[in-house]
Amino acid sequence: MATPSRKTSTPSSLASKRALPRDPSSEVPSKRKSSAPPAPPPLPLQSSRPFVEGSIVRIVMENFLTYDVCEVSPGPHLNMIIGANGTGKSSIVCAICLGLAGKPAFMGRADKVGFFVKRGCSKGMVEIELFRNSGNLTITREIDVAKNQSSWFINKKSTTQKVVEEQVAALNIQVGNLCQFLPQDKVGEFAKLSKIELLEATEKSIGPPEMHRYHCELKNFREKEKQLETSCKEKTEYLEKMIQRNERYKQDVERFYERKRHLDLIEMLEAKRPWVEYENVRQEYEEVKLARDRVKEEVRKLKEGQIPMTRRIEEIERQRYSLEARIKEKATDIKETSQKCKQKQDIIERKDKQIEELQQALTVKQNEEHDRQRRISNTRKMIEDLQNELKTAENCENLQPQIDAITNDLRRIQDEKASCEGEVIDKRGEKETLEKEKKSVGDNIVRFDNLMNQKEDKLRQRYRDTYDAVLWLRNNRDKFKQRVCEPIMLTINMKDNKNAKYIENHISSNDLRAFVFESQEDMEVFLKEIRDNKKLRVNAVIAPKSSYADKAPSRSLNDLKQYGFFSYLRELFDAPDPVMSFLCCHYHIHEVPVGTERTREKIERVIQETRLKQMYTAEEKYVVKTSFYSNKVISSNTSLKVAQFLTVTVDLEQRRHLEEQLKEINRKLQAVEAGLIALYERNKHLEHKDNELRQKKKELLERKTKKRQLEQKISSKLGSLKLMEQDTCNLEEEERKASTKIKEINVQKAKLVTELTNFVKICTSLHIQKVDLILQNTTVISEKNKLESDYMAASSQLRLTEQHFIELDESRQRLLQKCKELMKRARQVCNLGAEQTVPQEYQTAFQDLPNTLDEIDALLTEERSRASCFTGLNPTVVEEYTKREEEIEQLTEELKIKKVELDKYRENISQVKERWLNPLKELVEKINEKFSNFFSSMQCAGEVDLHTENEEDYDKYGIRIRVKFRSSTQLHELTPHHQSGGERSVSTMLYLMALQELNRCPFRVVDEINQGMDPINERRVFEMVVNTACKENTSQYFFITPKLLQNLPYSEKMTVLFVYNGPHMLEPNRWNLKAFQRRRRRITFTQPQ
């Protein structure tokens, strides 16, 4: 039964009818939005047993998915919800799940509850009324889209989701259990359940409440049992190791005590040794003190003996000072006389130098005169030779015409060279321009290649096998007769990469990486080599024999621009003809338009008016289908995925144009370079001819100017000769003057020599007097040195004695300090205070010990050697031995406790296992019996058993379903891969039916599980569902399907809910089921028999 509601785009209705399945009046429309209050649900035509505890009595939906307002009243047994695809059947399943605190993600549609509210509404509501003997339970869930939150109510009172979950769980409702609640999008996941998950779901669904609890307890007990076993094993091993270790250490402890006795004797010897050492040092101190006093007296006597020697040394020092002063006076006089001698010697040397200079000046003048006479002779000879050459010179007046002719030839050659160089400059400019163009074109080609490499890198990263096949194809194109295109994603070139998302969402990824062939034979050769030989996974397709690439669309784009469409998919990219033909044939890209956001805003109008099967808006893809049952238009939309491969745009036509342009530039460059070589050769020839003419002109000019040059040279030489003849010198007069000056200087020089001789005599006398004084001073110094030597010897003896005294005094102080330290150390060793005497026990022990250091050290060495024989021992051996003994006792006690606890857990496991495993085996046997019967009735085989590899691993127990649909095969375990989709659907349905009679849950929901079945299996399964779900003592059952086969068996206990969808639905206030039934009866009665 249902109350009015309305779908988003087209009206729809839902109606229910108990029994009378073949009466046309059972299909009664009842769904359209209205302001009038909803009509009360009609009562069932026939009474039935009451609802079981937790069954659904009523479902109310407001602004939920496709519904504005809708109320559904299911029956207590089998509820068949029938309607075409898209009318809102699964919306009722979603309402049951969300209304009973189910998670949105369990439906497999959306992960946020706000997505289940009807588009355009801010809030939605779902209300579920559950049957209870103590009073029905009404759960209301209000959904806020903006906050994506829900408000909960129980019997119209606000509550929390946790309270709702507790109330639902108390009624044993498990919307997350696929054995109880199997929505449309989760049908395939049932076969994916592992054996362990299936056992857990079955326990929760049909087992007693304590069965799953016992199973969980067993798993926990088993886990703790493993932990205890491991703990006991580890403690036992550790205890054995501790005992063994203590046994090994027992002998070490005995050796430790023996070593301790030696150490005690060593301690006593070390205590006596400081006292013996102190006594020895004290005696040494007394001896050093007496020796110091004797040396002190010797020092006093040595100091008194040095006084007379000091006085005599002072007297001699005064005498030496007097003699040294007189020696200095004589040295000063000698120095002054020597300086006067030196001055006279310097004057004599200067006079000698003057004589030498006069002689040199005379020699220079003589040489100059001789040189002048020689140059005059040479000049006269040169003049004579030039005059002879001038006489023999030829007449040069007839050379000017030849010079003019050569000048004209030179001017003409210069013009040709200038013209040639201009052409070279032009050619060079042209070459530079072409090279720049070549570089620019080359850079553009590299840029295109880089873009193509980007596409190939994406292909290599995502589909390595396809990439390897592309490389093979490029090296082996000669093996194919017709054209072979690389993968479509490489050959497609987007005109605007923003539109790449439309192409990638329209063409499947398998075809995007497919190779396109024009010949079946070529494709077989390719696949044999790539798939069979190289084991590469690649895709290949064949282009249509007749090209579809230029096929015109059925509708002009101008007609669609009013809706916001701007292009067909085909016009968004370029591709080779075979690729474009394949895409037009198989993907109809010439028929699929692309629109904008304006198209999405008008989408309902676009769907109704254009009748397009596929279209794209800015961010969505729309697919429009016509219902097979109602012939109504059904549309679906999906969001576009982001483009991954076609975002890189490479204009291949432009790249080919650039390659042709590059070839043309290279051809022009070759022509320009050939022209430059010819110009260089021509320029070289002109340069050679120019050099020859210039050489001829130079020779003619030299011949023409030679006579004038000779006349100028003769004139110049005559002038030079005249000047040299005028510059004369009288050598005799110069020699006489020089001789006179030399005589005068020699007279002065003789006078200076006499004065120098007198000064030398005076200096010699002063030197004799100085030597006498030095001899006297030497005698005084010798006496002084002897006295000082004696004094130094006495002083050395004194210093040695004083040093000896200091050393003895320091030794005395050191020994005194050492005595104090040794006394302090001896008291510290015996733990005595400053005023305490040595205890009697030490005195008694010291009497038995040696009294000398050598004896004590010898005994210490002996005892230490004995103690060192006990190696590997340390002071903590006894302590560790004792602690280990205590630890052994503690571990022994703990091990006893652990073993008692382990025995207790094993006993608990045995008890719980008996309470869990036996009922579980019986339950599985019942399921197996019913499951096998169901399969047998379908001429197939199936069985259910409890499977485990180890009986003690309770977390590995599971239910295994094995089926066989053909007599020629063996039983195979139900998996997502082995059976077909229809076989999995049949197996899933029969397993749920096997649970039906055993089920303790209040209701079960199965949504469109019959879609993959063939008609025979679907009919058999339907009969089993009706027979099983309509028996007494079974829970409520919801079976959702878009269609049913004809002439199916129905039961009086069934409730059939029809969901209609169409533009001619009645308003809610006009819906009256009883009036419809009366009208139907009148029509039936008035018809002729």
**pLDDT tens digits for 895-904?**
888 778 777 7
Q: Measured on CA atoms in the order 82, 88, 94, 95, is the torsion positive or negative?
A: negative
**Mean pLDDT to the nearest integer, 260-266:** 76
Determine the Cα–Cα distance for residues 292 and 816; give it in Å rounded to an integer.
14
Which of 13-27, 182-196, 572-586 bottoms out in mean pLDDT, i.e. has the lowest?
A: 13-27
Query: Quick one: which of 1, 227, 45, 9 has its CA closest to 118?
Result: 9
Name the nearest CA neighbour of 706 among 380, 1028, 392, 1021. Answer: 392
pLDDT for position 451: 63
| Non-local CB neighbours of 247 within 8 Å, separated by 6+ positions | none
Q: End-to-end CA distance of the chain, in Å?
A: 32
How does residue 527 score in pLDDT terms, banded at 50, 70 and 90?
very high
Would you place residue 1085 in the very low, low, confident or very high pLDDT band (cuts 50, 70, 90)? low
Distance CA(774)–CA(330), nearest Å, equals 11
Distances (CA, A) of 946 to 73, 408, 849, 985: 39, 124, 90, 22
**What pLDDT, on a 0 to 100 scale, did the predictor assign at position 487?**
93
Query: Which of these, 499, 488, 482, lies nearest to 580 by C-alpha position?
Result: 488
Nearest-angstrom CA–CA distance, 627 and 795:
140
pLDDT value of residue 14: 44
Q: What is the mean pLDDT of residues 103-108?
A: 74
Residue 254 pLDDT: 73
Task: Please give the residue that has the higher pLDDT: either 125 or 941.
Answer: 125
Rounded CA separation 353/749 (Å):
11
Place of tokens 């001055």: 343
Mean pLDDT of 261-269: 76
918: phi > 0 → left, psi -120 to 50 → alpha, else beta; which?
Answer: alpha
Residue 48 has pLDDT above 60, yes or no: no
The pLDDT of residue 37 is 34
In 3D, which of 31, 13, 46 has the Cα closest to residue 1055? 46
What is the C-alpha to C-alpha distance for residues 404 and 407, in angstroms, rounded to an integer?
Answer: 5
Q: What is the pLDDT of residue 414?
A: 83
pLDDT one-digit tens code per residue, 938-986: 778 888 887 777 777 777 788 888 888 777 777 777 776 777 766 777 7
For a pLDDT cut of 90, what percent of the chain falls above it?
10
Distances (CA, A) of 58 to 38, 71, 745: 14, 7, 162
Please determine, for residue 396, whether its predicted confidence score (pLDDT) is greater than 60. no
Q: CA-CA distance, 131 to 1012, in Å (whole number)?
A: 34
pLDDT in tens, 209-231: 677 777 777 777 777 777 777 77
Whether 1026 has a pLDDT exceeding 90, the answer reads no
Half-sphere exposure of 204 (CA within 13 A, CB side): 19
Other C-beta atoms closer than 10 Å to the C-beta of 948 total 16
Region 807-834: what's the mean pLDDT?
80
With cut-offs at 50, 70 and 90, classify the pLDDT of residue 761: confident
pLDDT band at 1076 (very low <50, low <70, confident <90, very high): confident
pLDDT of residue 961: 82
Determine which of 121-135, 355-369, 503-517, 858-872 has the lowest per-residue pLDDT on average: 858-872
Which string of DSSP letters, residue by residue, matches 427-490?
HHHHHHHHHHHHHHHHHHHHHHHHHHHHHHHHHHHH-HHHHHHHHHHHH-GGG-SS-EEPPHHH
> Looking at the DSSP assignment, which residues form a beta bridge with residue 181?
1005
741: its two tokens: 């000056």
The pLDDT value recorded for residue 970 is 77
Give pTM, 2 decimals. Answer: 0.38
537: confidence class by pLDDT, cuts 50, 70, 90: very high
Q: How confident is the model at residue 890 (pLDDT cuts 50, 70, 90)?
A: confident
As a whole number, mean pLDDT of residues 915-935 equals 75
All residues at 6 or more sequence positions from 970 whose CB lies less than 8 Å from its CB, including other chains? 964
Residue 27: which pLDDT band, with cuts at 50, 70 and 90?
A: very low
Query: Which residue from 993, 988, 987, 986 is spatially nearest to 1027, judged by alpha carbons?
Result: 993
pLDDT at 62 over 70: yes
Greatest mean pLDDT among 210-219, 296-305, 915-924 lies in 296-305
The residue ranking higher by pLDDT, 87 or 593, is 593
pLDDT-wise least confident of 300-314, 364-378, 867-881: 867-881
The tens digit of pLDDT for each residue in 772-802 reads 888 888 888 888 888 888 888 888 888 888 8
* pLDDT value, residue 44: 38
Pairing label, strands 614-616, 620-626:
antiparallel
In this structure, which amino acid lies at residue 367? N
Output the CA torsion sign for 502, 507, 511, 514.
Answer: negative
- Give the chain's mean pLDDT: 78
Could you report the per-residue pLDDT of 422-448, keeping only the tens digit for each?
Answer: 888 888 888 888 888 887 777 777 766
* Tokens 């030829």, residue located: 394
Whole-number Å distance between alpha carbons of 119 and 722: 133
pLDDT of amino acid 1009: 65
Residue of 113, 112, 136, 135 lying closest to 126 (CA atoms): 113
pLDDT of residue 506: 92
- Rounded CA-CA distance 93/786 in Å is 139
CA distance 206 to 201: 9
**650 pLDDT higher than 70:** no
Question: Of residues 623 and 1000, which shows the higher confidence score?
Answer: 623
* Rounded distance between C-alpha atoms, residue 301 and residue 303, angstroms: 6
Structure tokens at 980: 């077909």
pLDDT digits (tens, 9 = 90+) for 303-328: 777 777 888 888 888 888 888 888 88
The DSSP secondary structure of 1014-1054, one letter per residue, reads: -HHHHHHHHHHHHHHHTSTT--EEEEEES---SS----TT-
Does residue 591 register a pLDDT over 70?
Answer: yes
pLDDT value for 399: 66
pLDDT at 47 over 50: no
Average pLDDT over residues 699-720: 74
**pLDDT category, 40, cuts 50, 70, 90?**
very low
Q: What is the pLDDT of residues 499-511, one digit of tens each?
A: 889 998 999 989 9
**pLDDT score for 523:** 93
Check pLDDT > 90 for residue 582: yes
Average pLDDT over residues 278-300: 83
In terms of average pLDDT, the best of 69-83, 165-179, 299-313, 998-1012 is: 69-83
